[in-house]
Each structure stands twice: as C-alpha cells, then as structure tokens.
A and B are shown apart, each in its own frame.
Chain A
C-alpha cells in the first residue's frame, strides 16, 4: 500500500483521537484507560499475519506465536476486566 496514504490515515486518526476524549468524569478514568488498552491489543492482527506456513524460518514463527499469545491475553483480558469494572460501577451508582 502507498506509504503516503498510510501517513495520511495516521495523521487523521491522531487528530480524531485527540478530539474524541473530553470532559470524562473521574470515576470513568480507569475504565476508559482499561478499555482503550484492550484496543491497543490490535497488534493481535499483526501477530496473526506473522504466523504463515511458508518458509519464514523457525525463529520468525516462534516470535509470531509468542506475539499472538501475549496480544490475545491483552485483548481478551482487557475487554473482560473493563466489563467487570463497568458492571461494578453501575451497581454502585444505583
């Protein structure tokens, strides 16, 4: 893919991210941090693409599988723990 196009979406995403968050109530700081931490586990997609059966060398394969395990822990654990936090938040509020 064209490198300039990738830069283009990178810059636009940066501005979107900067505008997305404003006036978050302080009780939501930790869940928001936890929820966006789960999103940063998107590296899982990169890990999946690194695990190819073609000749890539054993080391590359091992690194890819290790990356997949760690990224999956980040994603699945991240979403699950955020959900638990927000669940408890709601109970407290009512």
Chain B
C-alpha cells in the first residue's frame, strides 16, 4: 500500500464523516456534534493531503495560518445578528477558491501545453477544458453573487430588489455569451486564444453573479444564500473533476445536492416556489408587485 492508497482511504473516511455530519446537523439534539463530526472529516482530509508528493510546505503553512487567523477572528467577533451575512461572505470565498484552483490548473496547461498535460494527467483534453471552464464559471458566479448578497444583508448596498428595463433580456444575452465563450474555449487547441477566452469567461462569470442577485429583494436573501451555498458545492465538485480528486467530487456534490433540497425547504416555509423567489424581481419591473 503506497501513500496514495492511504490518502484515498482517508478520503473515504472523511466523506463518511461529512455524510454523518450533514445528517446530524438536521436535528436539534445532534446538530452541534454533527458540525464537529464534519469538521473532523475536514481536518482528516487536509492533514492526509499534506502527505502528497512535491508540496511546497513553506507556502502551505503560511496560507493555512493566515486563512485560519482571518476565519477564526471573523467568526469570533461577528455579532449574532450579522452571522447570516458572514456565512454569505465565507461562501463567496469558497467559490473564489474553486475559481482559483481551476485557473491554477489552466496555468499548468499553458506551461506544458495540452499534449503533455494529456499524457501526464491521462486526461481527455476536451473534458479537461470543459471542467476547468465549469469550475471557473460556477465558482465565479458564487463569488460575486455571495458578495452582493453580503452587501445587501449587511446594509452596505440597498436591500431592495434592483430592476431596470431590459434586465431579463440582458441576463439571457450574458448567459448565451458565457456558454458561447465556454464552448469555443473547450474545443480550442490554440492556447493563446484559449487564455483570452478564459479571462473573458472570468469577467462574464463575475458579472453574471452580480446580475443574478441584483433583482432579488433583501427579504429573500437567505434563500439566495442557500442556493449560492449549493452552487459553491457544485463548484468544488467541478474543481474535483479538474484535478481528478474524489473527495472534492463527493463532498462538493453532497453539499450541492443537500443545499438544493434545503433551498427548496426554505422556499416552502415561505409559501413560495424557488422560481418565484429568483424571478419575482422581473415581475416587479412590469407589474409593480
């Protein structure tokens, strides 16, 4: 059994702890222990990943220390009432991290070229291009969407729905542009062109995150944050496909799927449908309601 087998076995244990953690978080008696169980899974996944070959520990320790200090300080100092917006901010950071992981991998492709990359990773280049773009896109939308939600909840931005004429058409155009750029990126073999498309894709994704949250009112923000939380899971899962890592795929997908169900439950508690929450702002533009 080599180090890789050991790492993967530990990933199985970590994924199991995540499953139990989420399950226990769903009922009042076990919720706090559930959070600790899932935290233990995360600790296990991180510690065992440090056994991988060729890591640069100086930067890793620095990054872990800085990130932990910021995270702990923010979580300790935040007022009780400001917790939901802090969760939104954290969620945005998670999305940004997925975007950056995808970008770092694309830099590796740019460094050695698609052919060498295909040999080294034993990957299909079209599939790799597709998942790199997907992880970047979902992570980017999660990032700016969550930041915008944070701004609305914390009162730094106006909490009311912002609607303007032609907003729906603009968003649809934006979506089409994102998909078109992605399609050309995925099948492009010219790395110079692919790089430009990738940077354009990042800009479009960041813009789309803002545009998507803009027409939604402040009262609906918890539902939107829950949906963005689900998206950040999908982004992590996509990043897992980029680097062929099973714990990212499983944990991200668990969060994506359970987050989606939670979002639907939250909508039902408000006697609304998810579509109604997401698109009611558009109705407000024409019908005033």
Residues of A in contact with B (beta carbons under 8 Å apart): 1, 3, 6, 9-10, 13-18, 20-57, 59-61, 63-90, 93
Contact = CB atoms under 8 A, between A and B. Distances in A.
Given A36-B25, A37-B232, A70 B246 contact: no
Nearest to B63: A68
Overall SS of chain A's interface: helix
Contact of A39 (B21, B36, B86): B21
Nearest to A45: B49
A61 to B, nearest CB: 7
B63 A60 contact: no
Nearest to B261: A21
Interface in B251-276: 251-262, 265-266, 269
Contact of B262 (A33, A46, A52): A33
A16 B257 contact: yes
Contacts of B76: 80, 84
A45 B108 CA distance: 17
19 contacts: A6-B246, A13-B15, A17-B257, A30-B83, A30-B222, A38-B42, A39-B251, A40-B235, A46-B240, A63-B100, A63-B107, A64-B101, A68-B63, A69-B67, A73-B90, A77-B72, A83-B36, A86-B35, A88-B80
Nearest to B263: A33
Overall SS of chain B's interface: helix
Nearest to B254: A17
A20 to B, nearest CB: 5
A33 B226 contact: yes
A70 B93 contact: yes
B103 A37 contact: no
Interface residue range, chain B: 35 or more
Interface in B81-105: 83-84, 86-87, 90-91, 93-94, 96-98, 100-101, 103-105
B243 interface: yes
A61 B104 CA distance: 7
Contact of A43 (B19, B34, B235, B253): B235
Interface string B41-82: 110011001101011100110111011101110111010100
